[in-house]
Amino acid sequence: MKGGAGPGAPGPRRATVRPNLTRSDQSTMSAEDLENYETEMELQLYREYRDVVGLFSYVVETERRFYLANQVDLQVRSAGGEVFFEVTLSDAWVWDVYRPARFVKSVRVVTFKDVNVEELAKSELEMPKTGGFPGV
């Protein structure tokens, strides 16, 4: 993946859709209020990413989105002389600050731009699959 994944790495691209936000007194938010809101939402999203990244095996970056997934099927297709990529993800998490439910069972993405897939290294903190604690 370009730029790598994880803390300190450049984050995925920001969604272009902006919510229609107003204060409780129905006056519109100032530009500073909106910027503060977006900053807080991005910080919450980063914290969620940090908490869930260990649950996934792959990082997938497309032209428009950033995903974590446990299964990835990347197919290169062509039609009418054009080459495109079809990516199917299973058991996925979507980096999107405006999406209320980021965990999804499956995702199918079709794009004409590059797709970056990176297998995540398993944490050294994983429990052994057999036995248990040494000496127990």
- Please state the domain extents for the chain: 31-119
Contact 110, 86 (CB under 8 A): yes
Hey, what long-range contacts does 75-78 have (CB within 8 A, 24 or more apart)?
Answer: none
pLDDT in the model for residue 24: 52
- Considering only CA atoms, which of 55, 54, 34 is closest in space to residue 97? 34
Q: Print pLDDT tens along the chain (136 aa).
A: 344 444 444 455 444 445 555 555 456 779 898 888 889 999 999 999 999 999 999 999 998 999 999 999 999 999 999 999 999 999 999 999 888 889 999 999 999 998 999 999 876 445 556 655 555 5
Mapped onto helix, strand or coil, the DSSP state of residue 47 is helix
Mapped onto helix, strand or coil, the DSSP state of residue 9 is coil
Sheet-wide strand order for 116-119: 103-111, 82-95, 66-79, 58-61, 116-119
